[in-house]
Amino acid sequence: MSSELLPSHFFAARRGIAPYIRHTPLEHNSSLSKFAGSPVFLKLENLQVTGSFKPRGSLHKVLSVRASQPHAEFIAPTAGGHGIGLAYAAATLGSKAHIYLPRSVDPDKLRLIQDQGAHIEFFDSVPQAREAALRVASEQGYTFLSAYNDRHMMEGGGTIALEILEDCPHVETVLVGVGGGGLLAGMSVVLKAANPRIRLIGVQPESSAVLAQWHRAGQPVDVNGLRPSIAEGIGAEVERDLLPWPYLQRLVDEFVLVSDDELRDAMRWCVSDTKYVIEPSAAAGLAALRKLLPRSLGPTAIVLTGRNVSWRRFEELVRPS
């Protein structure tokens, strides 16, 4: 396989994972379309199996590795969402998953991982979980799976773009929340190959906008003063040898930064207008839309990446202060 990601890789990924995922709706939203002055569509990955886009990449990884290693076991550190996707993929395909979590994991995310029968270990932080997972992977021969720094995760995430293009061939702008950049990088390869004029916009929290700063500088740079965001799934410290980075640098048009208050407002709007409960990370594109206007965006797709947030935490986040 070529080291460079090509559109053919994403079509192959889609064929492999198709029996196990949903082609999620691309739903036209009247309120946002009126607000933006052009059609706005919501890509409802919150309706995906397990409640997020994550299984796309995990399924593709497990299928690919098992083709040559039928008894492979998989291990991943995660704040929760990536673990749900890998646990589902492993259970669905008859493999074993080892999920390393922070003790602060959202209880609903923990329950979803437990329901899939994964082996779980707890740590004081995600960095500690990552360090332990890498060590155990080396010692036990498990396949380590990063949520973003892995070509199979990028290819699986990019299948979302194939669906968007099928359902809205005339799309002109796509908004995607960005953590480690795997989803955005994969989608960028597909979208720009189909139409180089599609405007691809990544969204990160103001408090932890590492890749946005890299993009502005045109190269990896030190980013100081990082603070946690309510959107733990996006805006993270990343490795300098980041596989998605060349694609983000070359193919993404711009980044938009949003505050936690803007994410909260977007979550409130979403449940009020659409009746969809979404996690903070999934609200990033909605929060960014307002900051892009009054620019003319043309037909726009916003990826709602997931819904996996406990009701208690959702209530705490959206309750007026």
pLDDT tens-digit series, residues 226-282: 898 999 888 777 888 999 999 999 999 999 999 999 999 999 999 999 999 999 999
pLDDT of 2: 58
pTM of the model: 0.96
Residue 225: predicted pLDDT:
86
How much is the average pLDDT of 163-187?
97
Phi/psi of residue 116, nearest 5 degrees: -90, 0
List CB contacts of 315: < 8 A, sequence separation 6 or more.
none
Give the pLDDT confidence score for residue 107 in this predicted structure: 87
Listed in sequence order, the residues at least 6 apart from 209 whose beta carbon sits closer than 8 Å to its beta carbon are 223, 235, 255, 257
Token pair, residue 134, equals 């890498």
In the beta sheet, which residues pair with residue 43? 26, 303
Looking at the DSSP bridge assignments, the partners of residue 42 are 27, 302
Percent of the chain with pLDDT over 90: 89
With left for phi above 0 and alpha for psi between -120 and 50, is residue 207 left, alpha or beta? Answer: alpha
Helices (H) and strands (E) counted in the chain, each on its own, are: 13, 10
Q: At what angle do helices 260-273 and 311-318 cross, to 10 degrees?
A: 110
Residues 125-129, mean pLDDT to the nearest whole number: 91
pLDDT of residue 320: 81
Strands (E), 1-51: 26-28, 40-44
Mean pLDDT value across residues 97-126:
94
- Residue found under tokens 């399924």: 59
Helix (H) or strand (E) holding 109: helix 107-115
How far, in Å, CA of 16 to CA of 209, rounded? 33
Contact status, residue 112 vs residue 87, Cβ threshold 8 Å: yes
pLDDT digits (tens, 9 = 90+) for 179-228: 999 999 999 999 999 999 999 999 999 999 999 999 999 999 999 888 98
The residue behind tokens 């329950």 is 111
Name which of 18-32, 50-64, 125-139, 225-239 the model is least confident about: 225-239
Mean pLDDT of the chain: 95
CA dist., res. 244 & res. 207, Å (int): 21
> Which residue, among 67, 60, 102, has the nearest Cα to 81 in the 3D structure?
102
Of how many residues is the chain composed?
A: 321
Q: Does residue 301 have a pLDDT over 90?
A: yes
